[in-house]
A and B are shown apart, each in its own frame.
Chain A
Amino acid sequence: MTKLQNANDKHEQILVIFDTHHCSHVSLQSIINLASSLKAAIHGLYVEDANVLNAANLPFSREVTLQTAKVRKTSASSMERELRAYADRVRDLLQQHATTARVTSSFSIIRGPRLATIIRESRDARLVVFPAVSSKWSSTGTQNDYHLRNTIALYYDGTDSADSALSIATSIANRDGADLVVMTSERAHAEKLRQGMQTQSLKVIVHSLKKQELGTLLTELSPYSPRLFVLPESSQLVQNSDYLHRLVDHLHCDVLMVR
């Protein structure tokens, strides 16, 4: 476990990206637990989507509400208030959970185009978490089956950051008594992992991807219903600029990106 301890020591802060998609309590608690086990501080970053404010500035600006399916007129100022109120709520929630778990936390708000801002702001962080997004349509953000999930998933490509990600994922799975699913595209990596993980007491599934492609990864990951997906940032899969959109908007679990 020397490697893991080193990895833990190195990651002193986890950046958690929040936006207008709802983040559930369960998901937030899970992220706080992650920080606690890694002895890391949490920094919450709320991204105010500039495009939303621009749209609200238009003379015919309207909002279709999820609660009632009704159309209501909006303005830049009303939308700004709405975004700030939401940010305040997210901050309170984060602080509340962090205080309970005795995890150091901070919070900031930044405005800009959503994806571009997320990419820019997360560039320098060692660990970045994108909280699970529930339903696109649901306004409650609840995930009925979240409590049933007890699997940690990891994409492994043999890079240094992948080793670091493996160390973190193993640590979390051990702590929670969860199963560990390792997705890999290289047969050699699969063999190496199978041998390497034999000493672990936890249940490890090494899954060989049919294709080294983000779409394939997402499709083949789905049946495992992971609670947390750990992804090394160096992976070829996430070099494409579209990756973040697909990860953040399509995965129904927390995503931990490890550099």
Chain B
Amino acid sequence: MTQPKSRDDLIVSSNKLYHACDLSALAFKTSDDLEVTSEHLGQSRAMEALKFGIGMAHEGYNLYVLGSTGLGKHTTVKQLLEKESSTADIPPDWCYINNFDEYHKPHCLQLPAGRARKLQADMEQLVDDILVAIPTTFESDEYRTQIQAIEDEFKELEQKTFNELSEKADKQNIAMLRTPGGYTLGPIRNGEILTPDEFEKLSEEEQEAIKSTINEIEEDLKQVIRKIPVWQKESRERVKALNREVSELTVDQFVEEVRRAYTDLSEVTRFIDTVKADIITNVDAFRKYGEQKKAGGNNQELIKTLFSRYQVNVLVDNSETEGAPVIYEDNPTYQNMVGRVEHVAQMGTLLTDFTMIKSGAFHRANGGYLILDVRKLLMSPFSWEGLKRVLRAGEVRIESLEQMLSLVSTTSLQPDPIPIDVKVVLTGSRLLYYLLKEYDPEFGLLFKVAADFAEDITRDDKSSELYARMIATLQRENKLEPIDKSGIERIIEHCSRLVDDGEKISLHMGGLVDLLRESDYWAKQSQRSTITIDDVESAIDKRRYRLDQIRERVHEQVLRGTRLIDTEGEKVAQVNGLSVIQLGDHAFGQPSRITATARLGTGKVIDIEREVDLGGSIHSKGVMILSAYLANRYAKSQPLSLAASLVFEQSYGMVEGDSASAAELCALLSALSELPVKQGLAMTGSVNQHGEVQAIGGVNEKIEGFFDICKARGLNGEQGVIIPQSNIKHLMLRKDVRTAVDQGQFAIYAVSTIDEIMELLTATEAGVADKTGNYPKQSVNGLVQQRMQKLTQLHQQYSKPEKTKGHDKAAKRK
């Protein structure tokens, strides 16, 4: 271990406390003078991945755009896709039409872009025309004359047959009499039917002759009656044939007109031919419509019921699409993705047909791009599985969830699947990307391109200039007041603070736009037409104020003495550690009292937090490292006869992270050396087994947290915060902290080793070991070493007499 630096050497100079942005080299006054940029700053890796994914036409090259919320992933992807798709071919239209053979299996129909709506209109017009034409034709004199002729022919045949039979009966003095159920025959004398008495008076031969004649005529009558159904059927057939002929003639003229417009589309002409055949078969429905209309009935319902099967259900209409479609489905439920079959309730029954098939996002995006938020997708039941099925199969099949899960057994529609050619772009977090990659084996096969959006960019003159132009672009896009140079500089500095790094700038566009809008608001409140640094400061301060209540309460507890934190004086084995509390997008630092005790033991350092399950694994790791450090440094050739315990006082929640491990070690060293620690100093940093202090996160919040407490109690010039040397580059401290440092009221110390910290805390030389490994007696390390040796001796003393005593007693008994 090298000689520690002096106290003055460790003080961080004020120019390092804040990485100010200087755009003085750029010749502009306000953002209006800056050139707008379309460049996606800092996202070259992601942009290259996106372009690659879009360009790859092979199966499975769908994209996952990963990065945290607010990076502008969605906007960037949409802009890029819209640019790429504008020159692509317009995909075809898709419709569903009736399947006249199996009604529950509607057919899909593909048409060139823009022709589906026309076909739909043409079919509606066709039905309208035929609805007028058919009733007119069937009410015409010509048709009625032909029907009359057929019926007359049947009547004449009937009449003739009856007359012949009647005449035959008459000639044999038999009357054919009509009864409600048929005919009865009776003998006639002088135009009257014989009474039973008169019949009895006839001779037996005459009676038999009459019976025989009646039998004969009855037989003839039966024969004739048997022919009636045949005649009727023949008559019906002829009427049917006539109806068909008339219908064909009527329908043909209208159908042909429509058909001519689609001769280049064989599937459409086939559909039109099928419609024509169906209309002719069901011509009675059109006649019924005519009758109902004549009777003043409500025809709308009838039309809907009877003629909807000739409609065209346009699922995808690309008539106004330019290039390939880019669809963003904001609510990616299963049905919104793959489409649905709707139903209408009629008399307590749910009814549906092909006209109630509704498109999903896949249909609309067919031939183009579909953008989905992966979190929303995963949160919608069955959507993820549905998405994968479509991508695997290359077709979208509309199937209700009930059918898919076999929850219902009722018949529903099974529309033809529609082939799909769509590139899916998922946007989401890194966590979800890696989870999907880990747990869903199909994910990697279907989403082969990852576009990883950077969270920040290295801050230098070039990137600062580009960032300034990006701010100008956003300002104009959002129609905000122009921002002056000082305002832009402050915005860039704030964006560095957001990533807790003076040498980086945040690429979270969402947060940046919010800051611009809020600055614009405060400028307007101040009646300014240009956003200045004051407005940006107001926006930052007001936002912090809005979220700052919890911090105020925590600090209030310290200031009122509820939470015990000393900011002056000296105490043995008591160190001010620093921690950060993250509440949503607001973070603040707070001091925590860390205490240690040391006594004779067997080398165990107890982390009380861990013992009660309030310490996280990283925190426990930090404590174990400091145990190893102690043993390595002070008890290399002797047993570590120490029992120590460490605790975060007044901590009632989980403690995680190793940023307090250096503070814990210092508390323990103070306990061992019995050197008092200056309470005006707080510290943060993790430590390794060799006593080197390592970087931690949230350094700015931690310093400001302790500063606020000290400031509230009154700065005395002895107060300050010790941070790791490697955190200097992250410093972006508030102005009041910087001012206090400049005025010598507060200090920031950057250290590399535990020895440097101990010297600062105890104002005692740390001490360097001589050749024999011994430290100077009055140094920090010397005192610790002596205490350790003392503990070891005590341990040995306590061990020996115990064994001797026991042995002597045993000897005496013998």
What residues make up the interface of A, taking CB atoms closer than 8 Å to B? 19-21, 49, 51-52, 54-67, 69-71, 74, 79, 82-83, 85-86, 113, 135-139, 144-145, 147-148, 222-223, 225, 250, 252
Task: Tell me the complex Cα distance, A79–B180, Å.
Answer: 9
Q: Residue on B with the closest CB to A76? A: B196
Task: Tell me the complex Cα distance, A138–B291, Å.
Answer: 26
Q: Using A136-B162, A148-B139 as known contacts, say yes or no to A62 and B151 having CB atoms under 8 A apart.
A: no
| CB <8 Å contact, A55 and B192 | no
CB 8 Å contact bits of B607-647 with A (1 = contact, 0 = none): 00000000000000000000000000000000000000000
Question: Quick check: is B179 within 8 A (CB to CB) of the other chain?
Answer: yes
The number of residue pairs between A and B whose CB atoms lie closer than 8 Å in the complex comes to 117
- A-B pairs with the 6 shortest C-beta distances? A55-B186, A86-B180, A69-B225, A54-B193, A65-B182, A66-B182
A69, A79, A148 pick with most chain B CB within 10 angstroms: A69
| CB <8 Å contact, B144 and A148 | yes
Shortest B402–chain A CB gap in Å is 46
Question: Quick check: is B743 within 8 A (CB to CB) of the other chain?
Answer: no
Q: Residue on B with the closest CB to A87? A: B180
Question: Quick check: is B125 within 8 A (CB to CB) of the other chain?
Answer: no
| CB <8 Å contact, A21 and B178 | yes
Task: Tell me the complex Cα distance, A82–B178, Å.
Answer: 12
| CB <8 Å contact, A20 and B218 | no
Q: Name the contact of B196 in the complex, choosing from A57, A145, A148 (C-beta under 8 A).
A: A57
| CB <8 Å contact, A137 and B162 | yes
B residues near A113, Cβ cutoff 8 Å: 192
| CB <8 Å contact, A58 and B186 | yes
Of the listed stretches B29-37, B95-103, B152-160, B313-321, name the one at the interface; the rest are far from the partner chain.
B152-160
Q: Using A55-B175, A71-B222, A136-B159 as known contacts, say yes or no to A65 and B181 having CB atoms under 8 A apart.
A: yes
Shortest A65–chain B CB gap in Å is 4
Task: Tell me the complex Cα distance, A177–B129, Å.
Answer: 25
B residues near A74, Cβ cutoff 8 Å: 184
| CB <8 Å contact, B194 and A58 | yes
Task: Tell me the complex Cα distance, A79–B193, Å.
Answer: 15
CB 8 Å contact bits of B137-155 with A (1 = contact, 0 = none): 0010000110110011001
Q: Name the contact of A51 in the complex, choosing from B139, B155, B193 (C-beta under 8 A).
A: B193
Q: Residue on A with the closest CB to B195? A: A54
Question: Quick check: is B185 within 8 A (CB to CB) of the other chain?
Answer: yes
Q: Name the contact of B225 in the complex, choosing from A52, A56, A137 (C-beta under 8 A).
A: A137
Task: Tell me the complex Cα distance, A60–B218, Å.
Answer: 12
CB 8 Å contact bits of B226-243 with A (1 = contact, 0 = none): 101000100000010000
| CB <8 Å contact, B195 and A51 | no
Q: Residue on A with the closest CB to B196? A: A57
Q: Name the contact of B152 in the complex, choosing from A57, A58, A147, A222 (C-beta under 8 A).
A: A222
Task: Tell me the complex Cα distance, A66–B214, Å.
Answer: 17
Shortest A126–chain B CB gap in Å is 28
Q: Name the contact of A52 in the complex, choosing from B184, B196, B199, B291 (C-beta under 8 A).
A: B184
| CB <8 Å contact, A82 and B199 | no
| CB <8 Å contact, A56 and B184 | yes
Q: Name the contact of A66 in the complex, choosing from B159, B225, B232 (C-beta under 8 A).
A: B225
Task: Tell me the complex Cα distance, A141–B185, Å.
Answer: 21
Chain B residues within 8 Å of chain A by Cβ, number: 41
Q: Name the contact of B181 in the complex, choosing from A54, A82, A137 (C-beta under 8 A).
A: A82
| CB <8 Å contact, A66 and B184 | no
Q: Residue on A with the closest CB to B222? A: A69
| CB <8 Å contact, B291 and A20 | no
A residues near B232, Cβ cutoff 8 Å: 138
Question: Quick check: is B211 within 8 A (CB to CB) of the other chain?
Answer: yes
| CB <8 Å contact, A57 and B151 | no
| CB <8 Å contact, B184 and A225 | no
Q: Using A69-B222, A79-B179, A145-B151 as known contacts, say yes or no to A64 and B211 having CB atoms under 8 A apart.
A: no
Sample (16) of A-B pairs whose CB atoms are under 8 Å apart: A20-B178, A51-B177, A51-B192, A52-B179, A52-B184, A54-B194, A58-B196, A63-B182, A63-B183, A64-B225, A66-B228, A69-B226, A136-B158, A137-B162, A139-B181, A148-B139
| CB <8 Å contact, B181 and A67 | yes
| CB <8 Å contact, B186 and A64 | no
CB 8 Å contact bits of B346-388 with A (1 = contact, 0 = none): 0000000000000000000000000000000000000000000
Question: Quick check: is B224 within 8 A (CB to CB) of the other chain?
Answer: yes
Question: Quick check: is B221 within 8 A (CB to CB) of the other chain?
Answer: yes
| CB <8 Å contact, B155 and A64 | no
Task: Tell me the complex Cα distance, A52–B176, Å.
Answer: 9
Q: Residue on A with the closest CB to B228? A: A137
Task: Tell me the complex Cα distance, A51–B162, Å.
Answer: 19
| CB <8 Å contact, B211 and A60 | yes
Q: Using A71-B218, A137-B224 as known contacts, say yes or no to A83 and B194 having CB atoms under 8 A apart.
A: no
Shortest A109–chain B CB gap in Å is 13
Q: Using A54-B193, A137-B158, A137-B224 as known contacts, say yes or no to A225 and B148 having CB atoms under 8 A apart.
A: yes
Task: Tell me the complex Cα distance, A69–B155, Å.
Answer: 19
A residues near B147, Cβ cutoff 8 Å: 145, 148
CB 8 Å contact bits of B205-222 with A (1 = contact, 0 = none): 000000100100010011
User: Besides the contacts A52-B179, A137-B162, A138-B232, what 17 more A-B pairs have beta carbons closer than 8 Å?
Assistant: A54-B194, A55-B184, A57-B196, A58-B194, A60-B211, A60-B214, A63-B183, A64-B182, A64-B183, A64-B218, A64-B221, A66-B182, A67-B181, A135-B155, A137-B228, A139-B182, A148-B139
| CB <8 Å contact, B158 and A64 | no
B162, B184, B187, B211 pick with most chain A CB within 10 angstroms: B184
B residues near A137, Cβ cutoff 8 Å: 158, 162, 224-225, 228
Task: Tell me the complex Cα distance, A104–B181, Å.
Answer: 30
| CB <8 Å contact, B181 and A63 | yes
Task: Tell me the complex Cα distance, A72–B99, Å.
Answer: 52
Task: Tell me the complex Cα distance, A137–B157, Å.
Answer: 11
Q: Using A58-B194, A66-B181 as known contacts, say yes or no to A138 and B186 having CB atoms under 8 A apart.
A: no
Shortest B294–chain A CB gap in Å is 10
| CB <8 Å contact, A225 and B144 | yes
Q: Using A57-B196, A58-B196 as known contacts, say yes or no to A20 and B158 having CB atoms under 8 A apart.
A: no
Task: Tell me the complex Cα distance, A54–B196, Å.
Answer: 8
A residues near B214, Cβ cutoff 8 Å: 60, 62
Task: Tell me the complex Cα distance, A166–B414, Å.
Answer: 64
| CB <8 Å contact, A138 and B181 | no
Shortest A220–chain B CB gap in Å is 13
Q: Name the contact of B186 in the complex, choosing from A51, A144, A225 (C-beta under 8 A).
A: A51
| CB <8 Å contact, B180 and A82 | yes
Task: Tell me the complex Cα distance, A58–B186, Å.
Answer: 8
A residues near B180, Cβ cutoff 8 Å: 20, 82-83, 85-86
B180, B196, B239, B291 pick with most chain A CB within 10 angstroms: B180
Task: Tell me the complex Cα distance, A49–B225, Å.
Answer: 22
| CB <8 Å contact, B196 and A55 | no
Q: Using A59-B199, A64-B218, A136-B159 as known contacts, say yes or no to A144 and B151 having CB atoms under 8 A apart.
A: yes
Shortest A250–chain B CB gap in Å is 8
